[in-house]
Structures are given as C-alpha cells and as structure tokens.
Structure 1
Amino acid sequence: MPVIGLGGYFFRAKDPEGLKTWYREMLGVGGGCGRDAQGETSDWFWHPEPGPVVFEPFKADSDYFAADKQVMLNLRVTDIDSLLEQLNAAGVEITTKPEWDTPETGRFARIHDPEGNPIELWEPPAQ
C-alpha cells in the first residue's frame, strides 16, 4: 500500500486564525507544535509523536457524537488529568463518563472547540 499515514486534517471555520490559535494554545496542536527528526519546528507543520491512529466510519445515526456533526477529532494525549485541569482552568467544558474508560482502551474525555466541533481526548493504556 502506498498510503503511509495521515497527512492532514482540513476543516472549515468561521474564524480560521482564531481557531488555529485556540488549538495551539489549548492543546498544542497545529503548525509550530512538536519537532521533526532534526529537532526543527515549522510554522506550517505539526510533528505529533508516532502512535496508533483509529480511522473508523460510524453509522449515520450513531450517537457516539452529536448528530449534527459529520466528524469528531480524536487526539491522543498523555497525562489526561493534567490536561483536563488546564482546560478546566481555561473555562473549557469537559465531559467524562466512567463507562468510556477501560483498561483495554484507556481513558477518554470530550470537549468542543470554540466553534462547537467535538474533540475526543484519548489517553491510551500504559504499555
């Protein structure tokens, strides 16, 4: 197979620059975040750590995320408790449910960006 990974995630926004700043400041996601193999950073690229990516279409009537949204972004995180504390302090509404968390899949939380796009935060189980 010639596809080797996810190359980007593109979506429409009412305020692209404001949303880009929110993702960078709240979650460390987007251009200028992370470093490449040479230790360099770029205003255009985000260099996430290697790891698993779930690519999964859901049924059109799934209740896993809001029915009025076509997609939900899932971000792999470390130290979810610390991140949730920071997001809470910044006034970001957080949803957690005990039934989402299992030793096999890890821990989960849900937030929304300023334009209402759903984001699932996922801390995989310790290896």
Structure 2
Amino acid sequence: MAVTGIGGFFFRSDNPEGLAEWYLTHLGVGAPPGVFIWNQQAGPTVFAPFKADSDYFAADKRWMLNLRVDDLDGLIASLKAAGIDVLTKAEWDAPEVGRFARIHDPEGNPIELWEPAAAPPA
C-alpha cells in the first residue's frame, strides 16, 4: 500500500474566496465556487523538504508552491499582461529538468512555475 499522489493543498488566507478566484483566473488552479475537485493532468511531482536555512525561497516562508505548466512563455505573458510581477533567472533553468519562473499571490505566498523538460524520444 502506498500514497498515489497529493490529494490536496490547504493553507490559510485572509480572503479565501478572493484568493481562490485569483488562482483560478490567473493560473487555472482550483475549481469554480461550489466545486471542490480540480482534476489535473498526470505528471511528475517533486516532494522535497529543504533545510531551514535554504535560500531557495524566502527565509520568512515555510513553503513554496510549485506548479507544473505546459507553456511557460505563454503563462508569463498572460501574467505580465495582468500586472503580475514575474521573476525569471537563467541559472534556474536546466535542460534536463526544465524551465522556471516565480510569482507571488496577492497575499505574498511564493509560487514557482515549472515547465518540465521535454521527455527524450523513445
């Protein structure tokens, strides 16, 4: 018997309805009001605790949400058009892992956007 995946991600918010709407509008994450299941595409998930003093994300945050995307450039353009700051760094990208960008939600929670590397031809 084993875990088959992440069944949910729960966190506190000062404005749960507004934040849920922001995630749905800008990232397509979640479900419309009254619907609680978000059916996502199968794919890789990284589960990795970091050292308390890691500089991979802000020291004052205990977690960072990483979302897998299929068109990072298109999503970045959409986010910027909506006035959302997007940070990219060439050193975050690796041909064998993929490409990355970072944003923050309206409450300052860090979000990493990850476009996994294309699978090599079989």
TM range (shorter): over 0.9
1:4 to partner: Cα distance: 1.2
The answer to whether the aligner puts 1:58 opposite 2:50 as a matched pair is yes
**Number of the residue aligned with 2:3:** 3
What aligned pairs does 1:90-101 form with structure 2 within 5 A after superposition? 90-101=82-93
Normalising by structure 2, we get a TM-score of 0.94
Q: Deviations over 1:6-42 (max 9, x none)?
A: 000000000000000000000000124xxxxxxxxx8
Normalising by structure 1, we get a TM-score of 0.90
In 2, Cα distance between the equivalents of 1:24 and 1:31? 7
The answer to whether the aligner puts 1:45 opposite 2:37 as a matched pair is yes
Q: CA RMSD in A?
A: 1.0
* Matching residue within 105, 108, 118 for 1:116: 108
In 1, Cα distance between the equivalents of 2:100 and 2:11? 23
In 1, Cα distance between the equivalents of 2:47 and 2:9? 12
**Number of the residue aligned with 1:24:** 24
Q: Deviations over 1:50-94 (max 9, x none)?
A: 001000000000010001111000000011000000000000001
**Number of the residue aligned with 1:67:** 59
* Matching residue within 56, 70, 81 for 1:78: 70
In 2, Cα distance between the equivalents of 1:6 and 1:116? 23
Gaps of 5+ in 1: 33-41
In 1, Cα distance between the equivalents of 2:57 and 2:91? 15
Task: List, as ranges, runs of 4+ consecutive aligned residues in structure 1 with deviation greater than 4 Å.
Answer: none
Deviates more, 1:23-32 or 1:83-92: 23-32
Q: What is the number of equivalent residue pairs in this alignment?
A: 118
1:122 to partner: Cα distance: 0.1
